[in-house]
Structure 1
Amino acid sequence: MPNEPTFRYRFIPVEPRHLNMISEWLAEPHVAKWWNEDSDVEMASIAEHMDSVSVEPFIIMLGDEAIGYLQTYDPHLEDDHPYQDQPTGTLGLDQFIGVPDLIGQGHGPRLLDEFVSLLFEEGVPRVIVDPDPANSQAIKAYQKAGFVAFDTRTSIYGPALMMARDNPDLVFEQSPDDGQETRLQ
């Protein structure tokens, strides 16, 4: 699209100074509807993630403005994680745009595409997301960013539409014995 503005996003690690801002975002109705209803529990979890091995939290920056939160997680590093059936190296992703005025402006698909492309450059084979099936706005954003639905599950947070985007530079083969996918490269 020739007239489409070009955006450049940055993703900076969450620091303690960001926690109040994230807490305010979690209270926004468009975020609270889909994230943990108990923002104190969610904030405690995000604060723990700053020192986690399995979860990496980021602030989404648009220019010099903080606009949202994003976290990646490795389901293979968490005991009994329900997504351990995904190929080794897969990362899960959760995100939200915290600034209400930026919702519906196309930032979601753009920032997702940019972040996932960075992960692919690092060699990540697959990125998964698990929006609530009723969250049509998030599902459309993920689809625009190249994610494809592959399953419906129930997670500890409720129903989840499993969506994945595979690294185009890597090839997967499904084992006929156990259905597990392995990376061929």
Structure 2
Amino acid sequence: MADATMLVSWLSRAHVRRWWGPPKAISAKDLADPRVARWIVSHEGAPFAYMQDYTVHGWEDHHFAALPQGSRGIDQYIGEPDMIGIGHGPAFMAQRTKSLLETGAPALATDPHPDNTRAIAAYRKLGFAPTGPARQTKWGLILPMVLRSHAHP
């Protein structure tokens, strides 16, 4: 909860709001949801981004529920505009995806908006590939993308 004000501030910024929608209040109950692991990303001690990963089997009818048990979904954004476009996003995303795969996740999934070309390019750099056309979900319009572990092709 100590980071809630900062997160709402980031979510209020136009470059984040465009893809994440209008900011909502963050509650202790939300943050305690065991299905989701949440991370504040810092560079040289300064927080600049948010990342989360979650079990894709934690919600009924989740669009990635067909993935093997143990698969994780990932989402993130860079809250500080001056940290965009200089390689930090792919760097911290690579660290987290590597960790998740090394600890046994058979696949990782993400669902950027199909117009979010910057995010799609970053995911492609990490090895994610689209698994079908853009489609509407209860979370919005998405392009489903998956990265499979080499141990679980």
Query: Shift of residue 63 of structure 1?
Result: 2.7
* Residue 51 (structure 2) aligns with: 70
Instruction: Name structure 1 gaps, 5 residues minimum.
Output: 1-15, 173-185
Instruction: Name structure 2 gaps, 5 residues minimum.
Output: none
Superposed, which structure 2 residues align to 1:29-178 within 5 Å?
29-37=14-22, 39-40=23-24, 43-44=26-27, 47-152=28-133, 153-168=135-150, 170-172=151-153
- Alpha-carbon distance in structure 2 between the residues aligned to 1:107 and 1:67: 10
Per-residue CA deviation, residues 56-104 of structure 1 (Å, 9 max, x unaligned), is 1111122311111111111212233232111111100110011100111
Per-residue CA deviation, residues 31-52 of structure 1 (Å, 9 max, x unaligned), is 0100022x125x34xx433211
TM-score (normalised: structure 2) = 0.92
- Alpha-carbon distance in structure 1 between the residues aligned to 2:118 and 2:132: 18
SS of residue paired to 2:144: strand
With 127-136 and 159-168 compared, the bigger mean Cα shift is at 159-168
Give the letter for the 1:129 counterpart: T
- Alpha-carbon distance in structure 2 between the residues aligned to 1:144 and 1:48: 34
> For the structure 1 residues 72 and 49, does the alpha-carbon distance in structure 2 shift closer, same or farther, using more than 3 Å as the test?
farther
Rg larger for: 1
- Alpha-carbon distance in structure 2 between the residues aligned to 1:27 and 1:151: 31
Q: State the number of aligned residues.
A: 152
* Residue 3 (structure 1) aligns with: none
Give the letter for the 1:167 counterpart: S
Q: Give the conservation status (yes or no) of the 8 Å contact 1:109–1:141.
A: yes
Say if 2:5 is the partner of 1:20: yes
CA RMSD of aligned residues (A): 1.5
Give the letter for the 1:34 counterpart: W
TM-score (normalised: structure 1) = 0.77
Q: Give the conservation status (yes or no) of the 8 Å contact 1:113–1:146.
A: no
State, as a whole percentage, how many aligned pairs show the same letter: 33
Per-residue CA deviation, residues 83-127 of structure 1 (Å, 9 max, x unaligned), is 211111110011001110011111111111111001111111111
